[in-house]
Chain A
Amino acid sequence: MKNVILALVFLLLFLLEGTVFAWLIPYQVDRLITVVPHPVLIFTIFIAVYLHRYKALLYGFSFGLLKDVVFYGHVIGIYTFSTAFIGYVIGLICRHFHPGFVLAISMVAIGNFFYELIVYGLYRLLNLVHVELEWALFHQFLPTMLFNTVLAVLLFAPIHRWVLQPFHDADEKINTP
């Protein structure tokens, strides 16, 4: 039941990512810098912080794969790998900390940055992107990181109240390493 609810929230965020969020970015901003909303990644990181790293790995893998297949253009596997990897590593870092708002939000900021870096690096490795790192850093990575941190602050309250807190309390015994 718990997993069904988690999967449904993921699915909703995934659907919003390609449709509603794509229209959220104002017209004028799009031409100057690139801001990419990552609600699915944000939720993966929340799960890594509050629940368990294996859960984050599993959901990151599944919904990364979904993104890869639905928006298949160049290659399959990049989003699968990076979402799952970020979810797992953040879960690994956070297992000794007590989960809370500040930890979750800062992890979203860090995770987002490295997610962008991994995705960019893989595309660069496969010779599909030719933009220099420095330009990408200032025009995509940092604006995207800021935007997603704000998005995470907005999403935190509802997700924490209805999904994370009840599940976290139930998981307390299993989660302790």
Chain B
Amino acid sequence: MIKFLGNKRLFVLLLSLILFTLVMGLTKGGRERLTWPEMFLKDTVSWVQSLFYEPARHVTGFFGDLNRLDVLYEENKALKRSLSRYATDSAKLSGLESENARLRTILEYQGSKATDIDFKVAEVVSRSPDRWNNVITIDLGSKHGIKKDMAVITPGGLVGRVQTVSHLFSNVQLVTDIEQGSRVSALIQNKQQSAFGIIEGYDAKTDQLIMKRIKLDDPVSKGDYVITSGWGEVFPYGLMIGQVEEVMIGQYGLTKIARIKPSADLYHLYEVLVVERSMQVPPRLMNDSSTDGESANGGDGS
């Protein structure tokens, strides 16, 4: 074997193995900043990729749509149904909003639970073809105010979070790649009560997110909606994650585990929203709510 490879080659092979292990170890996990060669390479390549992605989407999208006419018909029906529900919901919401504002003024409640969320629309430039490393590149970077760990959503729900940022582009880690470093704290919303838990993993076999550490006596049932809790550092409150599909008792019988179907379509993405979370309550809102909260909040809502 040694003769087959040669002494020098064996040495080079071993050396490169050590080097690779070193590089992998050093770059594993989230780094705060990229080095400038990485940023430069990323920006240039992503810019060229952006020229390809758009036409590719249109061409394949056209054929895909032809393929999916039957699905579209069903989808259209479902959308119409949900639209009619939306009308009644928004009427109900405005009623609740004014009631909420009234109650807040009565209680003189100052804190706001980060309800003022700003969105930035980003286009997807490319997608990592590999499924162990679910990364999409979007066309917003540090120049546009994107920071690491910002939440990324579609109208359907949570998609992922910003992993690395360069000047003009950034990489988004999809929610299916949840790992030790990037758990999502979430709330299961029930009719009576909400249950707190942490989304810790993803099961590729069944396409479900796994939410653990739910209290045993918290009510959780199939079909409940799951949203971000806003208690973690990463995501703001109230982003839709998915729906509960299955509830089980955890490994040691002390907690419950819920399996969640993600509500966003993670397979074909072309436009996403980056959520900018403002950590402090803006002073404008605080002043308004102390003087006449009802009218100010009504103005904010429109």
Contact = CB atoms under 8 A, between A and B. Distances in A.
A and B interact: yes
Interface of A: 14-24, 26-27, 30-31, 34, 36-38, 66, 69-81, 119-120, 122-123, 126-131, 135, 139-140
B41 A18 contact: no
Contacts of B267: 27, 30-31
Given A66-B41, A120-B132, A128-B132, A71 B171 contact: yes
16 contacts: A18-B126, A18-B137, A20-B52, A22-B56, A27-B268, A34-B131, A36-B131, A73-B177, A74-B28, A74-B29, A74-B133, A74-B179, A76-B23, A119-B132, A122-B24, A135-B204
A26 B67 contact: yes
Contacts of B134: 73
Given A27-B268, A70-B45, A36 B130 contact: yes
A18 B24 contact: no
A23 B171 contact: no
B163 A140 contact: no
B166 to A, nearest CB: 10
Given A18-B49, A19-B52, A23-B60, A77 B23 contact: yes
Contacts, number: 128
Contacts of B132: 119-120, 123, 128-129
Contacts of A16: 52
B126 A19 contact: yes
Interface in B227-256: none
Interface in B43-102: 45-46, 48-49, 52-53, 56-57, 59-61, 64, 67-68
Contacts of A38: 129
B68 A18 contact: no
A135 B201 CA distance: 17
Given A18-B49, A18-B128, A23 B61 contact: yes
Chain B interface, DSSP helix/strand/loop, else mixed: mixed
Contact of A17 (B27, B42, B46, B129): B129
Contact of B27 (A14, A23, A31, A75): A75
Given A19-B56, A22-B127, A34-B131, 7 more contacts: A18-B126, A71-B128, A71-B130, A71-B171, A73-B171, A78-B24, A135-B205
A14 to B, nearest CB: 8
B41 A69 contact: yes
B185 interface: no
B65 to A, nearest CB: 10
Nearest to A81: B20
Nearest to A27: B64
A19 B49 contact: yes
A140 B131 contact: yes
B42 A70 contact: yes
B38 interface: yes
Interface in B3-57: 20, 23-24, 27-29, 34, 38, 41-42, 45-46, 48-49, 52-53, 56-57
B24 A77 contact: yes
